[in-house]
Structure 1
Amino acid sequence: MPKSQVRKKKVYTPPSDISPAVKGATNKPSPVWLPATAVTLIVVGIAWLVIYYLSSQQWPVESWRYWNLAVGFGCMVASLGLLSRWR
């Protein structure tokens, strides 16, 4: 039985007429404060929610009532926003 021919794969060459989105931009490392701030916001958000539930909705700020949940989750969402910029 004859042997089938082996196909040669073409080597990919990127088009030269398309330039990168931003020329000259370098991937600089993240500032030191960014991950520290993000972790702090996560811890503060979790602590805020835990204190709110364990105190039967009397602490941290009783007059805010359910807005305490927004503050706790808002801190955590803000930390996710910061972590999305971390390199």
Structure 2
Amino acid sequence: MPVSRRRKKKSTSAPPQTTQLRKRKPPSPPWMGALILALFLIGIAWLLVYYFSNGDIPGMDSLGAWNILIGFGFVVVGLGVSTQWR
């Protein structure tokens, strides 16, 4: 059987590579979890109140269909905040 060639060793004169240590980001503050939960619950509550009241609540009736956007807006902002939670 033929003998395979050995690979040449790299020259040792090259400077050693320095590995950069990644700094870990600190954990999220404790209030961030409560904020995420609050935004989700406010959004869902807004939508439920709008649908069950048929928009007859003062203030909500003038907003009309914007109530749907407001409710989903709270939920989407809560989702955005939850992506930053560590």
Q: Is the pair's TM-score, using the shorter chain for normalization, greater than 0.5?
A: yes
Query: Kindly, what percent of the aligned residue pairs are identical?
Result: 36
* Offset, 1:24: 5.1
Question: Which structure has the bigger radius of gyration?
Answer: 2
Aligned residue pairs, count: 70
Given the two structures, how large is their TM-score scaled by the length of structure 2?
0.70
The one-character-per-residue Cα deviations of 1:57-81 (angstroms, maximum 9, x if unpaired) are: 2236110000000110000000000
Supply the RMSD in Å over aligned alpha carbons: 2.2
State the distance in 2 between where 1:36 and 1:75 align.
14
For 1:49 and 1:70, the matched residues in 2 are separated by 9
Are positions 1:62 and 2:76 aligned together?
Answer: no
Q: Unaligned stretches of 5+ in structure 2?
A: 1-15
1:32 is matched with which residue? 30
Taking structure 1 as reference, are residues 25 and 45 closer, same or farther at Cα in structure 2, changes over 3 Å only? same
Which runs of 5 or more residues in structure 1 are unaligned?
Answer: 1-15
1:81 paired to 2:41: no
